[in-house]
Chain A
Amino acid sequence: MTTVDPDIRIPDPIELDAAEEARLRAAAGMMPSPAGPEYSGFEMVGIPDRPPQTEREREMYTLNEGEMLINLGPQHPSTHGVLRLVAKVRGEVIVDMDLVLGYLHRGIEKLSEYATYTAVLTYVDPMDYLSTMHNEHAPAIAFEKLYDIKAPPRAEYIRALVVELNRVFSHDLMMGFLALDMGGLTPILYSFIERDEVVELLSAISGQRMLFNFFRVGGVNWDVSDEFISRLSTWRSKVDKLIEMNEWMISENEIFTGRTKGLGVLSAERAISLGLTGPNLRASGVPFDVRKAHPYSIYHELEFDVITQQAGDSYARYMQRVAEIKQSIHLIDQIVDKMPHGPVQAQVPGIIRPKPGRRAYGAVESPRGLYSVYALSDGGPNPYRFRMRDPSFISLQAMPVMMPGLLLADTMAVISSLDPVMGGVDK
Chain B
Amino acid sequence: MDLELLLGIGRFLLATTLLLLLTVPTAFVIIQMEMKIIAQLALRFGPNRIGYKGMFQSTIHGFKVLAKEDAVPDQADRGTFTLAPWMVYMAAAMSMLVIPFAPGAIAADFSIGIVYFFAVLGLSVVGLLVAGWASYNKYSLLGGLRSAAQMVSYEIPLTLSIVGAVVLAGTLSFSELIAWQRDHGWLLLWQPVGVVIFYIASLAEINRSPFDLVEADSELVAGPFTEYSGMRFGFFFFAEYVALFIMSSILISLFFGGWLAPWPFPAELGGFVGTVYGAFWFFLKTYIFVSIAVWLRGTLPRIRVDQLMGMAWKVLLPLALVNLFATAIAVVAFNL
Contacts and interface: CB of A to CB of B under 8 A. Distances in A.
Given A183-B209, A407-B306, A409-B219, A249 B299 contact: yes
Given A76-B221, A77-B221, A190-B43, A183 B301 contact: yes
A179 interface: yes
**Centre residue among A92, A181, A183, A412 by max chain B CB count within 10 A:** A183
Interface in A165-196: 179-186, 189-190, 193
Interface in B299-316: 299-307
A258 B304 CA distance: 9
B44 interface: yes
A308 interface: no
B135 to A, nearest CB: 14
A409 B139 CA distance: 12
Contacts of B300: 183-184, 253, 255
A123 interface: no
B301 A184 contact: yes
A70 B42 contact: no
Nearest to A189: B42
Nearest to B302: A183
B69 interface: no
Nearest to B209: A183
A218 to B, nearest CB: 42
A180 B41 contact: no
B301 A68 contact: no
Contacts of A249: 299
B216 interface: yes
Interface residues of A, number: 31
A70 B138 CA distance: 7
B43 A180 contact: no
Contact of B304 (A68, A184, A409): A409
Interface in B4-48: 38, 41-44
Interface size, B (range): 20 to 34
B218 interface: yes
A184 B219 CA distance: 13
Interface string A392-423: 00000000000000011111100000000000
A186 B40 CA distance: 10
Nearest to B300: A255
A374 interface: no
B302 A186 contact: no
A256 interface: yes
Contacts of B305: 92, 407, 409
A92 B142 contact: yes
A410 B304 contact: yes
A186 B218 contact: no
Interface string A67-96: 010110000111000000000000110000
B155 to A, nearest CB: 21
B230 interface: no
Contacts of B44: 189
B257 to A, nearest CB: 31
Contacts of A70: 138-139, 142
B212 interface: yes
B142 A183 contact: no
B104 to A, nearest CB: 41
A77 B220 CA distance: 9
Interface string A258-280: 11000000000000000000000
Given A179-B301, A408-B142, A190 B42 contact: yes
B43 A185 contact: no
B206 to A, nearest CB: 16
Contacts of A256: 301
B142 A182 contact: no
B301 A408 contact: no
Interface string A347-365: 0000000000000000000
A253 B301 contact: yes
A78 B221 CA distance: 9
Nearest to A408: B219
B223 to A, nearest CB: 12
Contact of B43 (A193, A253, A407, A411): A193
Contact of A255 (B210, B298, B306): B210
A180 B209 CA distance: 13
A253 to B, nearest CB: 7
Contacts of A77: 217-218, 221
A407 B302 CA distance: 14
A67 B54 CA distance: 48
Contact of A186 (B145, B219, B298, B304): B298
Q: Which 5 A-B pairs have the closest CB atoms?
A: A183-B302, A184-B301, A189-B42, A78-B218, A182-B301
Given A70-B142, A183-B300, 6 more contacts: A70-B139, A184-B299, A193-B43, A255-B300, A255-B307, A407-B306
6 contacts: A77-B218, A182-B302, A184-B300, A186-B38, A255-B307, A259-B307
